[in-house]
A and B are shown apart, each in its own frame.
Chain A
């Protein structure tokens, strides 16, 4: 079975600090896509960053970057210079190329303290 694991149910850091959210996944597929989504209190889901498994270069989007380790099946999200508006639930998600079925982690609640 294909699974996504987020081992940190909740994290809390001070504003302007850097924080890393962990995500590991299990699959036998070779081609797939990985995503981090942010869910603020409004409950809307916002795409933060995406990574194609065939690309070795880590994706970066402004203050957000990933550390993609394909052999270790790890896909962590780093948020630099954290801001109060980063407070949200963060979900790691995975889409295998074979069936395009979204598979989600349980989420990490991130709190940025002033």
Chain B
């Protein structure tokens, strides 16, 4: 079965500091990968999705960027965090063969 390892689970960062959240995939090759943000009490907002190495589509203009250096690695980054970047970030994947999505544990980011 497909799994996603996402870390860290919680993170507190000062305003202006850089960010790097990473997720890695096991159990499938060439998955579609997604980064979502969930603000408190709200639904999932798609930030980035990737259909392959080096291929990133951005859904929402913002202070964040994403990269996919390897087939099973997806990284969410920021050069300088803003207070508004606080939230719950979820990495998701989707195996092309069965279209079922699978999720990481999520990262709760607090920018102070």
**Real complex partners, A and B?**
yes
Q: Which residue from chain A places its CB closest to the CB of B49 in the assembled complex?
A: A101
Other than A43-B88, A95-B94, give 20 A-B pairs with Cβ distance below 8 A: A35-B101, A37-B101, A44-B105, A47-B100, A50-B100, A95-B101, A100-B51, A100-B96, A100-B99, A101-B49, A102-B32, A102-B46, A102-B49, A102-B94, A102-B101, A104-B36, A105-B43, A106-B42, A106-B43, A107-B43
19 example contacts (A-B, Cβ-Cβ < 8 A) are as follows A33-B99, A35-B100, A35-B101, A43-B38, A43-B105, A45-B101, A47-B101, A50-B100, A93-B101, A101-B49, A102-B32, A102-B34, A102-B46, A102-B92, A102-B94, A102-B101, A104-B36, A106-B42, A107-B42
Q: Are B43 and A91 in contact (CB under 8 A)?
A: yes
Q: How many residues of B contact A (CB 8 A)?
A: 22
Point out residues on B near A: beta carbons under 8 Å: 32, 34, 36, 38, 42-44, 46, 49, 51, 88, 90, 92, 94, 96, 99-101, 103, 105-106, 108
Contact count A vs B, C-beta below 8 Å: 50
Q: A35: which B residues are within 8 A, CB to CB?
A: 100-101
